[in-house]
Amino acid sequence: MKSRVIAVRLGPDELDTLSAMPGETTTEKIRLLIQSQAVVDAVTDQITTALASRLEAFEERVEVMVRGAFQRAEQTSRNRHDEVAEWVGRLGKAIIQRLPKS
């Protein structure tokens, strides 16, 4: 097993935390900190992956909703256009009927 040397600068807050930790030696306490950080990193990765997956699903749902809203608006616009065209046609016929016949 290879040993590695890791240099870490500890400030007063870190030293207080290290002193308050359970463990016999500073080496044991630092090993615990490293293991704790590994657990935090693993949990953070899992949370990030889960959130990314949920965000992707949410984006897909929003896209479907927006697409549906645009399609409904487009259909409504076509329907309104058809209604207006029909109304203008009726109005035109009514005006023509009222014109004096020459």
Where do the structural domains in the chain lie, given as residue ranges? 18-98
Structure tokens at 70: 């645009």
User: pLDDT tens-digit profile of 6-50?
Assistant: 666 777 887 787 788 777 787 887 788 778 888 888 888 899 999
DSSP per position, the chain: -----------HHHHHHHHHSSSSSHHHHHHHHHHHHHHHHHHHHHHHHHHHHHHHHHHHHHHHHHHHHHHHHHHHHHHHHHHHHHHHHHHHHHHHHHSPP-
**Mean pLDDT value of segment 52-57:** 90
Under the banding of pLDDT at 50, 70 and 90, the label for residue 5 is: low
Under the banding of pLDDT at 50, 70 and 90, the label for residue 102 is: low
- Regarding pTM above 0.85, the answer is no
To which residue do tokens 């004096």 refer?
Answer: 100
pLDDT of residue 4: 66
pLDDT of residue 92: 86
